[in-house]
Amino acid sequence: MSEENSNRTWKGKLHEIIYEADTPAGKFFDVVLLIFIIASIVLVMLESVKTIDAKFHNILYYGEWIVTILFSIEYIARVISVKKPWKYIFSFYGIIDLLSTIPMYLSFALAGSHALVALRALRLLRVFRILKLARYLGASNQLANAIKASRAKIAVFLFAVLIASIIFGTIMYLVEGEEHGFTNIPKSVYWCIVTLTTVGFGDIAPETPLGQLIATIIMILGYGIIAVPTGIVSAEYTKASGDDKNKISDEEHEHIKDLQLNTQCCVNCLAETHQDGAKFCHKCGCKLHHD
């Protein structure tokens, strides 16, 4: 039993360091991890620049292998320190963590797979856990809710944009024709989306007066309908903020402010954002560890 216990403690400590950011060791781990994530992205970027790669190929190559091995160790540590490993492995972060390591190993077998390491950029999302977690997570949740609430309307809007692009694209193909760059309908539709979204690369541009007239209509349309998603998100966001106020009285509001969330993470179910002083996980009831 004592072995079981010491084993438990050892895993618990590891869990605390890797998953949480309340202890000095946990904070240190998170900051080091963040530096390695940024370094790994910079390495991939620099490697793609011909002139830099020619000069520092070996440094970049070994650097990437070091990062990959460290990420692999971290991945294994994450899997063994958690009670339900499969839950972590199939979680959003679990999949990203795995995808950050395997491309390098695959690069022996498959040429080109190497570039998938760009997925490491997704690991940057961890930064929110490190920098004043609660406030930023709250902000991103509020954002996510507003976007979720306006999902159906945004879908209707995007669908309307797509249909308009197909129709206008075909008309432009007929009007401008191949000699002015509108070589086929898919390219015309691409140009139409470039114009409607007010990006306007200028790689293709209408040259006939009629084509320019239709382009004018598309542009004014695009300039006008950008108001639609903006209006939707504004309204939903305002409503969401308003609802929050109505539901929670001022007294309760004070109460909520007093509560301090920490970065503790349940060993059992990986639930986050526990309150300060909480002894048990609010999701699965499993005991949280304290020092």
Under rule CB under 8 A, residue 210 binds a second copy:
no
Closer to a second copy by CB, 41 or 77: give it.
41
Which residues in the 227-266 window bind a second copy by CB under 8 A? 227-239, 241
Compute the distance between CA of residue 158 and CA of residue 170 in angstroms, rounded to an integer: 18
Shortest Cβ 170–a second copy spacing (Å): 3
Shortest Cβ 112–a second copy spacing (Å): 7
Under rule CB under 8 A, residue 153 binds a second copy:
yes
Q: How far apart are the first and last CA of the chain?
A: 22
Compute the distance between CA of residue 25 and CA of residue 204 in angstroms, rounded to an integer: 56
Closer to a second copy by CB, 45 or 73: give it.
45
Count of residues interacting with a second copy (CB under 8 A): 87
Among 26, 94, 103, 222, binds a second copy (CB under 8 A): 222
Closer to a second copy by CB, 88 or 191: give it.
191
From 22-30, 75-83, 156-164, 264-272, span contacting a second copy (CB under 8 A): 156-164
Under rule CB under 8 A, residue 219 binds a second copy:
yes
Under rule CB under 8 A, residue 286 binds a second copy:
no
Shortest Cβ 198–a second copy spacing (Å): 5
Shortest Cβ 181–a second copy spacing (Å): 10
What is the Rg, in whole angstroms, of the alpha carbon atoms belonging to the chain? 26
Among 212, 249, 275, 283, binds a second copy (CB under 8 A): 212
Q: What mask, x for binding a second copy by CB under 8 A, covers residues 131 to 150?
A: ----xx-xxx-xx--xx---
Closer to a second copy by CB, 105 or 159: give it.
159
Shortest Cβ 172–a second copy spacing (Å): 11
How wide is the angle at C-alpha 65 spanned by C-alphas 62 and 71, nearest 5°?
Answer: 145
Other C-beta atoms within 10 Å of 24: how many? 9
Compute the distance between CA of residue 266 and CA of residue 281 in angstroms, rounded to an integer: 6
Under rule CB under 8 A, residue 152 binds a second copy:
yes
Under rule CB under 8 A, residue 9 binds a second copy:
no
Of residues 56, 61, 76, 55, the one with CA closest to residue 114 = 61
Which residues in the 57-76 window bind a second copy by CB under 8 A? none
Shortest Cβ 227–a second copy spacing (Å): 4
Under rule CB under 8 A, residue 155 binds a second copy:
yes
Under rule CB under 8 A, residue 122 binds a second copy:
yes
